[in-house]
Every structure is written in C-alpha cells, then in structure tokens.
Structure 1
C-alpha cells in the first residue's frame, strides 16, 4: 500500500465531518459524560461512526451539535426535546442559507436586465 499523502492527511484536520474523537475525549471536550453521548445517539441527534474495533468516533460537527443539546439539557429541557430543538435549529439554518443562495442570483439578474 503506498504511503499516505501528507497533504491529504492534513485535510482531515480541516474536515468538520472527519470522525477524529473517541467517546471519552468527545465527552470531555463538551463537558458531558459518555452516557450523554450515547443518549443523544439513541435520540438520533448524531450517529457516530465506528472504528475498525467498533468504538464510537465523533466529528467536530457532531460535537458542536451535542454541545448545543447539552446546553438545553442543562437549562432543564428533557433530552428528547433538546435533540428535537437542535434538529429543527439545524434545519432552519439550512433553509435560511438555501433561501439566501437562491435570492442572490435572482437579484443579480434583475439588476443586469435593467428592470
């Protein structure tokens, strides 16, 4: 097998979706317990990838999502509701981004047509 291209390995550090963190490290980073990470996984907020040995691995994006759920739970929101809120917030953010992208070309074409 050829050696890994060092430049491509570096790309993983910049990839928000690369599953770089073990469960213990991920829990420590967001100030939660491994049980909390399992619970948000069971609630289908995040789905960690598995290493070849079957261990859960988390990405930076997943940690941000789990940290937001932890904030809500810390404020007294039940975990299932917190997960649903985070999912809806994520969907709203995507919809707003798409809306903005769709508006940009329409605005540009109206200005260029002279109307």
Structure 2
C-alpha cells in the first residue's frame, strides 16, 4: 500500500482508522463502553496486527447514537436493540421507495 492509498482510505467510512482510546475520546466515553457495545454485538471493531481494536467512522456514528440513548437513561441492551431496529426500518423504507419508483416507471398511473 502506498502513501496515496492510505490517504484515499481516510475518506472511507468503513476504514478502521481509530484506536479504542481515540474513539472513546472522540465520543466522550470510556473504552469499557465501546467494549460493551461489542459484547452486545452492536459494533464489531476490526483488530490490528497487534490485536488492538480499531473503529471506523461508521462504527463511531453508531456508538454515538448508543451513547445518546444511554445518556437519556436507556439501558445499554435496549439502546443496542433500538439502533438495530432503526437500521432495519431505514433499510425497509429505502427498499420500499425503490419498489415504488420501479412500479411508477412500469405503471405511471399507479403513482396515486
């Protein structure tokens, strides 16, 4: 991998660029909170060659949402479930919108 490849990956939402300590600092939480999210299978950090947890920007957004819910008094187990359900709802809404666009393309009068 060249230096240019490394810089290109910084724009990749899924690239595990952040150490556990840095991720916890950015979120204003503790490494234990991030480990708990992993134990509840909300996020699964990748491991460096040395075995250290590494997090992507996408995972940090999920962890930030979990922290928001927990800060509001939601138990961590429930917060993790809520986030999974929110993600599933978003996927279903996207699929539904794609389906409607496809139907409208084939049957323009069905848009009503």
User: Is the TM-score greater than 0.5?
Assistant: yes
Q: TM (normalized to structure 1)?
A: 0.88
Q: Which residue of 1 aligns with 2:102?
A: 105
Alpha-carbon distance in 2 for matches of 1:11, 1:106: 38
Matches within 5 A, 1:37-56: 37-56=34-53
The farther-off stretch of 101-110 and 53-62 is 101-110
Alpha-carbon distance in 2 for matches of 1:73, 1:63: 15
Structure 1 segments of 4 or more deviating over 3 A?
none
Instruction: Give the deviation of 1:5 after TM superposition.
Output: 6.6
- Residue 10 in structure 1 maps to residue 7 in structure 2: yes
Query: Alpha-carbon deviations, 1:20-77, whole Å to 9, x = none?
Result: 0000110111111100000010010000000000000000110000110100100111
Q: Which residue of 2 aligns with 1:80?
A: 77
Of 63, 67, 82 in structure 2, the residue corresponding to residue 66 of structure 1 is: 63
Instruction: Give the deviation of 1:111 after TM superposition.
Output: 2.5
Structure 2 unmatched runs, 5+:
none
Aligned length: 109
Partner SS for 1:57: strand
Alpha-carbon distance in 2 for matches of 1:34, 1:22: 10
Structure 1 unmatched runs, 5+:
none
Instruction: Give the deviation of 1:10 after TM superposition.
Output: 3.2
